[in-house]
Chain A
């Protein structure tokens, strides 16, 4: 089980004092937060990708490349990488490069993005959002998995004899998560490739995601990657903690009330009842997240949103101390209890390498059949 944080990268006024960080301050804060995440023992840092104010992270691999040099252990990831408006060829190159620089501590999450004008700004049509995501990802997959690619599709210039460089580290592509809020097509594609499915459930009630994750698990099994329980699931989360729960509520309320997305809407109390947002003592947060597996099954990755809505860096770092020192160790113990042996851990470069060598030393029936067919065809 992997625990980490994901950041939206918003520049938001601190509603308690009216201070708005500069873009430079916010970017530097994100770098500090990522390194703090490693220091307090978290497993993953993931950054969003945005191309409009008030968000700063338009260039994730630049940021993650810096962090690769500054960290030693933490997995560097995204939340999300826009598979609709980015050229899949550039994604293949950028993230393979990052993978080498970070010695394999890289994975990424595909997403469509939720800002309409980004599509036309990058020359795309938002009405084609899903077809773009599906076709682009299918191409990305081939660029990593095949050395020489001939390809023709609807949305991009054809490729003849193209080799994406550098080739993925050790011949194993970065693990891919597919983020989705509601589209069955995305869950279907994640299942087809045996990739991970990340349900960013932080703004929605769990019932919706129980259905969507259930669907992905079922299709994962259908496509022969393992049982439904072995599918690779990630969840979002959001917490604010203080020793006394009422202190947490009082301190977080102005940030909640003025937050982008849900601010000036439901009350903090309603929102915590209806979404995974947990505001209270560390033990309350532990209890809340320990119960996630009851709804979604045993899963592989839990990411928390900790640094949005104008929270100053100092408070975010305090929150990360509590998260890393109190909450995550307790959750690791909770999640290890009665976890079935066949449920995989969160994927890493090492686990993907091991899986590949296991597969190569014991060819599956399907591969044998495929080889037999090739041999038959050559006669």
Chain B
């Protein structure tokens, strides 16, 4: 179970994000907060694999893209759009099963490279196949219409983030989560003490892929048009990973903090530097790796523990 203060934090964050639309004046700002909520959800989904299991996947855009393309393709074959979303997510899980079986046999840089390679294969395939209309792209159905369009999308993204948060909360306290963390700390030892490491790594990827695909479908539906260079580009994988690393991989609140900070920073920079807005990502990564390897929440946690230590030592004596 999630410890009680974490539940309060969750409730506070949810309450705050429900009040947020009251402060937002126009569609543009609403779209920005939608993106923040969506990337918080994606970061939380990535956190299962990249944070708890410690497997640096830079191919999560594959699931994101499958979600978006799945929604577009299923609805174009006259499947109702709400069912299409879940079908797309299930397809993404099947992809994750196939990809996972291959990439989880690899370690370190080879794992990361293989995840990138898979995502790139999907991007190139989508660019070259007839069914996906190649580089021209596909229209995606809007899940909501009317004047409160962005507001409804925003609330769906918040809902997805809450689900992803609850999954993270469950994982961080469950036996499954402890297995993942054991794998992150030392995979050899983990498997030596009897943890079926490939199975648990794969399971974390399946859950993560499902959530990521839902996020991708939401994104595709909100912008109503998808092209491979938008929903299958490695930039999205990087964004997701960086958000989580900046906030603190393997922490509950990290991805949320990271999404709020990074997405608002990149929105400010977009006006300043136009197409070069990824510069801020680069600089932030370098700073985080050099000075804050545990991320913001990880750093705070360490500070907290460090403060606490003398007291417990005193209590023990």
Q: Do A and B bind each other?
A: no
Chain A interface (Cβ < 8 Å from any Cβ of B): none
